[in-house]
Structure 1
Amino acid sequence: MGIMTESVPNQPKMITPAGHVEPVPRRIRGFLGGRAVVDTLRARYVWEWPGYPQYSVPVADLVDCELVDEDRVLKLAPGPARRQGLKAGETVVPDAGWLWAEGASEGLEGTVRFRWEALDAWYEEDEQVFVHPRSPYTRVDALRSGREIRVELDGVVLAEADSSVMVFETGLPTRYYLDRLNVDFTLLLPTDTVTSCPYKGKTSGYWSVETPAGVHDDVVWAYDFPTRQLTPIAGLVAFYNERVDLYLDGELQPRPPTLTRATHEASSGRGSSE
């Protein structure tokens, strides 16, 4: 849910270039096996692509653990780095991240960027952060709106509402969250899909849509217990406007570009190496 699209028409664009580095003015902790292995007040945001940053932390702020050099040099947007494993007690995590080397963007040399999934949990101050760090340059606003909404797929009406909560998130299409009473659930099939967003939290449900033309997988979702900043969407449902026909005040809206993970995966550090 937090994966950014390619350029979205009529939406603010990402302005932070790959390779950019900023200080993190928050205590950052990372946990592995129930204990903190990262505890720092000196983390850096590093943008490996414009969508969102990752944390890079000074090696000196690792706690009761050690890096294991895996003898592989990476060429990433912020500069060169060396692949690292992580050893904490009896726990060994191979391919856990990379140590920035000389020639990396200013402020990165001597810091390590762990893969998000290499640790069990990340915290900013005392609040857990999911999926990736929240970008200081991203806004997510949930605004009530009295504009009429109609959602169709294959010519079948899925929802009609005279109000919604519109969610504006930098770099993403506007999302329209509707009351469940305005949605035809006889056309929806619950699925086991769960996704997470650093700004909204973890989804409580996904649904596919069944029309006479067939089944469209995972088109609808809900956050029953979103983060406190997004409480206006609690219990409401939203549709991927990329995959449905959405009418706003009777006017068909253009479908935004399809979500893509290509850039996100390219930023994972599995790219150019030697």
Structure 2
Amino acid sequence: MEPLRRRMRVRFGDLWIADSEDVMLLHEPGRYPVAYFPRDAVESAALKVEEYSTEHSDLGLTRWFAVTVRDRTTRRAAWCHTALPEHARVLDGHIAFAWRAMDAFYEEEDRIVGHAADPYHRIDIRSTSRHLVVRDGNRVVADTWRPAVLYESGFAPRWYVPRADIDESTLIPADGQTFCPYKGLASYYTVAQRSRAAWSYIDAWPEVGAVRNMVSFEPEKIDVDIDGHRLHLEPGQTVLPHGVDRGLDPDELLVDASERTVYTS
């Protein structure tokens, strides 16, 4: 548990129900970080205690709240720990909100999606002159001397290829997208008969703009060689579900423009 050291706000309906510069961030092994707000930074009238509690293996008894604003109510939308052990006293009197139960979380005026930002999750992108070749059997799908490699905390390196160095006739758009809280929305491609063997952050977020609209290929599904050496799928990070809201999916981003309004105080 540590201070987030950023102003964070929570929106539900047309009301800011939490607003604080003193948010605490809880890290648990293999789980997404969770933001806890001081009780006095939460709109108390929005919280209704439920006759429901759970037991956290490390943090003790957990009391749950419904969140109500005007005629709208979401059950089990917030919680606090009411019998904290000594080592976790810093969370005493703090409230956490189920991410998907709220309409939006913000840092200052920027919406944060997926989960609270993890200050220890890092992405570095490096350009290189190594020779990358992608093949579907004997057919060359991509051949480049200017790939970019993306290093992300806990994950295997991913190699991205400029579209000019790809035979784009081999890329068939596939149904479905996935969402990364750090990179944005990923679109997928079938390569020959290899389903979803490639992907692209067509409109990658500014923080990873160096790979915007480039294409990465899955070495588990198609042959990828770097300097003549075959790549193999490496173990990546496995993230466990957390609470009631841990589905990372595009629905959080694919909303009407009216729902993407940036609210100001």
TM-score range, shorter chain: 0.7 to 0.9
How far residue 258 of structure 1 moved from its aligned partner, in angstroms, is: 6.3
CA distance in 1, matches of 2:137, 2:102: 43
How far residue 88 of structure 1 moved from its aligned partner, in angstroms, is: 1.8
Greater CA deviation, 38-47 or 245-254?
Answer: 245-254
Within the candidate set 210, 225, 232, 2:203 is matched to 225
Q: 1:186 to 1:135 in 2, by over 3 A?
A: same
CA contact (8 A) 1:48 1:76 kept: no
Q: What is the TM-score when the length of structure 1 is the normalising length?
A: 0.78
User: Which residue is equivalent to 2:39?
Assistant: 59
5+ residue gaps in structure 1?
1-20
Query: Secondary structure of 1:163's match?
Result: coil
Higher normalized contact order (CA 8 Å, seq sep 6+, divided by chain length): 1
- Say whether 1:209 aligns with 2:191: yes
Q: 1:145 to 1:88 in 2, by over 3 A?
A: same
- Say whether 1:33 aligns with 2:13: yes
Q: Percent identity at matched positions?
A: 26
Greater CA deviation, 162-171 or 67-76?
Answer: 67-76
RMSD between superposed Cα atoms in Å:
2.4
Q: 1:62 to 1:248 in 2, by over 3 A?
A: same
How far residue 169 of structure 1 moved from its aligned partner, in angstroms, is: 0.8
Instruction: Report 1:152-163 matches (<5 A).
Output: 152=135, 157-163=140-146
How far residue 231 of structure 1 moved from its aligned partner, in angstroms, is: 1.2
5+ residue gaps in structure 2?
246-265
How far residue 254 of structure 1 moved from its aligned partner, in angstroms, is: 2.6
Which of the pair has more CA radius of gyration?
2
Report the AA paired with residue 106 of structure 1: R
Cα deviation code 1:203-232 (max 9, x no counterpart): 3x2222333xxx42x332222322222111
- Say whether 1:264 aligns with 2:247: no
CA contact (8 A) 1:84 1:94 kept: yes
Q: 1:165 to 1:79 in 2, by over 3 A?
A: farther
Q: 1:73 to 1:139 in 2, by over 3 A?
A: same
User: Which residue is equivalent to 2:119?
Assistant: 136
User: Which residue is equivalent to 1:44?
Assistant: 24
How far residue 116 of structure 1 moved from its aligned partner, in angstroms, is: 1.4
CA distance in 1, matches of 2:227, 2:60: 48
- Say whether 1:239 aligns with 2:217: yes
